[in-house]
């Protein structure tokens, strides 16, 4: 298997590349290593990937058509794609909306357009998000639910990616699967996400911002479970069923909505320090609760998330302390 992984310097991309390399696959990683968050963390992830295995890295912007076409020409034999590059983050989409449309809509199209011309392409897997469920009142969120009410531009652009992909499966017969991830955390995580922000601020003795006065639930999903789901999916391209395009969507979540305050209590316990909590109102673009129905992912992909927050949070903190010497 020769796998093109976009967003390879990112949190999920890094772990996906590492797992593919450990399996003996050839991996071509792509990332523009932008400064949405600490570039040195992205560089450090890449340094680990370059240590071993059949790994090649190309630094480029996926929304640049010429660059993507040249890249595909330079690496013949790609059989699989894991497209993870995105402008992530719900809150930043209020500040810089254009970055989301450029990477998550235009960039998604450019990657698809470059990859559909590959002779040996067997499966194109791409990242979507629980954010597509937006104001969905029904819990747990199911891939059967209508998703026409996003509450953030981030959610709108991830849904746009799904729709663009669906049309490419129908028009060009590209076998594709979209994976809707639910609040992923773990070692080498993203500095703009809860586990990271809370740990950093608690250790620095700063107050932690807690939105909606703490009345939130999240389906926190450990990175190893997500990567296991991505690899299981990659190995199972969807068939073209009678008349329907070879296209599927799945939720990858923990199937367990956890109270945010319990998550914070676990971080406090692991760090051995009490947090100073700053209770704040709900943020625009945010949702009160996320919780994944994973019945189809269990059935079709054998996806069984195994890591509870009681195990996952200490593993994250252990990495954090070691990496930052904190
Ligand atoms: N982490 C989560 O909880 C979560 C939840 C739902 C969905 N997702 C999705 O999973 C994917 C990976 O997320 P992540 O948490 O690893 O985020 P991340 O920000 O750590 O990784 C994304 C990577 O893409 C790169 N990138 C951004 N724009 C690019 C461009 N134009 N060209 C090339 N590279 C570009 C970034 O430099 C970054 O390294 C994204 O598609 C995201 O939308 C993540």
Does any domain span residue 195?
A: no
Atom of ligand 1 nearest to the CA of 103: 31
Question: What does the alpha-carbon distance between residue 304 and residue 201 come to, in Å, rounded to a whole number?
Answer: 33
Q: What is the model's pLDDT at position 110? A: 98
Question: Is residue 52 over pLDDT 90?
Answer: no
Question: Is residue 258 over pLDDT 90?
Answer: yes
Pocket test for ligand 1, best of 14, 39, 60, 84 (most atoms within 8 A of CB): 84
Does any domain span residue 248?
A: yes
Q: Average pLDDT for residues 5-32, to the nearest whole number?
A: 98
Does any domain span residue 275?
A: no
Domain, as residue range, for 31: 2-182+222-255+292-306
Question: Is residue 287 over pLDDT 90?
Answer: no
Q: What is the model's pLDDT at position 24? A: 98
Our answer on whether the CB atom of 90 is closer than 6 Å to any ligand 1 atom is no
Our answer on whether the CB atom of 49 is closer than 6 Å to any ligand 1 atom is no
Q: What is the model's pLDDT at position 240? A: 79
Our answer on whether the CB atom of 133 is closer than 6 Å to any ligand 1 atom is no
> What mean pLDDT is reported for the chain?
96
Question: What does the alpha-carbon distance between residue 265 and residue 244 come to, in Å, rounded to a whole number?
Answer: 47
Does any domain span residue 202?
A: no
pLDDT tens for 197-253 read 999 999 999 999 999 999 999 999 999 999 999 999 999 999 878 789 999 999 999
Q: Average pLDDT for residues 49-73, to the nearest whole number?
A: 96
Our answer on whether the CB atom of 202 is closer than 6 Å to any ligand 1 atom is no
Pocket test for ligand 1, best of 10, 13, 150 (most atoms within 8 A of CB): 10
Instruction: Tell me how far the alpha carbon of residue 35 lies from the centroid of ligand 1, in angstroms.
Output: 12
Query: How many folded domains does the chain comprise?
Result: 1
Does any domain span residue 318?
A: no
Confidence of residue 27 (pLDDT cuts 50, 70, 90): very high
Atom of ligand 1 nearest to the CA of 131: 6
Choosing from 37, 154, 250, 320, the catalytic residue is 154
Of all protein residues, whose CA lies closest to atom 9 belonging to ligand 1? 127
pLDDT tens for 135-145 read 888 999 999 99
Q: What is the model's pLDDT at position 137? A: 86
Confidence of residue 291 (pLDDT cuts 50, 70, 90): very high
Question: Is residue 30 over pLDDT 90?
Answer: yes
Q: What percent of the chain has pLDDT over 70?
A: 100
Pocket test for ligand 1, best of 66, 88, 90 (most atoms within 8 A of CB): 88
Q: Average pLDDT for residues 166-192, to the nearest whole number?
A: 97
Q: What is the model's pLDDT at position 263? A: 96
Of 153 and 91, the one with more pLDDT: 153
Q: What is the model's pLDDT at position 88? A: 97
Q: What is the pTM of this model?
A: 0.98
CATH number, domain with residue 58: 3.40.50.720
Our answer on whether the CB atom of 105 is closer than 6 Å to any ligand 1 atom is no
Instruction: Tell me how far the alpha carbon of residue 192 lies from the centroid of ligand 1, in angstroms.
Output: 12
Does any domain span residue 190?
A: no
Does any domain span residue 41?
A: yes
320 catalytic? Reply is: no
Does any domain span residue 239?
A: yes
Q: Which of 98-102, 125-129, 149-153, 157-161 has the lowest mean pLDDT?
A: 149-153
Q: What is the model's pLDDT at position 241? A: 80
Question: Is residue 91 over pLDDT 90?
Answer: no
Instruction: Tell me how far the alpha carbon of residue 163 lies from the centroid of ligand 1, in angstroms.
Output: 19
Q: Average pLDDT for residues 162-181, to the nearest whole number?
A: 97
Q: Which two tokens stand for residue 119?
A: 């002779």
Our answer on whether the CB atom of 84 is closer than 6 Å to any ligand 1 atom is yes
């Amino acid at each position: 298997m020769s796998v093109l992984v976009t967003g390879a310097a990112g949190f999920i991309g890094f772990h996906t590349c590492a797992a593919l390399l450990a399996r003996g696959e050839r991996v071509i990683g792509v990332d523009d290593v932008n400064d949405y968050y600490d570039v040195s963390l992205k560089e450090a992830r890449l340094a680990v990937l370059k240590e071993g295995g059949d790994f090649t890295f190309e630094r480029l912007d996926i929304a640049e058509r010429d660059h993507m076409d040249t890249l595909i020409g330079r690496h013949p034999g790609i059989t699989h794609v894991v497209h993870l590059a995105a402008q992530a983050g719900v809150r930043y989409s209020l500040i810089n909306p254009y970055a989301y449309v450029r990477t998550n809509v235009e960039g998604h199209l450019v990657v698809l357009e470059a990859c559909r011309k590959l002779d040996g392409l067997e499966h194109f897997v791409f990242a979507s998000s629980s954010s597509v469920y937006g104001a969905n009142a029904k819990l747990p969120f199911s891939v059967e639910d209508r998703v026409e009410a996003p509450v953030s531009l981030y959610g709108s652009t991830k849904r746009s990616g799904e729709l663009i992909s669906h049309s490419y499966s129908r028009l060009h017969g590209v076998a594709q699967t979209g994976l809707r991830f639910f609040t992923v955390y773990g070692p080498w995580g993203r500095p703009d996400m809860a586990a990271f922000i809370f740990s950093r601020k608690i250790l620095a003795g700063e107050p932690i911002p807690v939105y909606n006065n703490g009345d939130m639930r999240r389906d926190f999903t450990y990175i190893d479970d997500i990567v296991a789901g991505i690899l299981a999916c990659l190995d199972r391209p969807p068939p073209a069923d009678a008349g329907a395009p070879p296209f599927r969507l799945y939720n990858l979540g923990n199937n367990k909505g956890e109270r945010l305050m319990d998550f914070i209590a676990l971080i406090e316990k692991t760090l051995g320090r009490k947090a100073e909590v700053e209770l704040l109102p709900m943020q625009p673009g945010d949702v009160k609760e996320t919780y994944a129905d994973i019945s189809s992912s269990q059935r079709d992909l054998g996806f069984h998330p195994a890591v509870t927050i009681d195990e996952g949070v200490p593993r994250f903190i252990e990495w954090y302390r070691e990496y930052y010497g904190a």
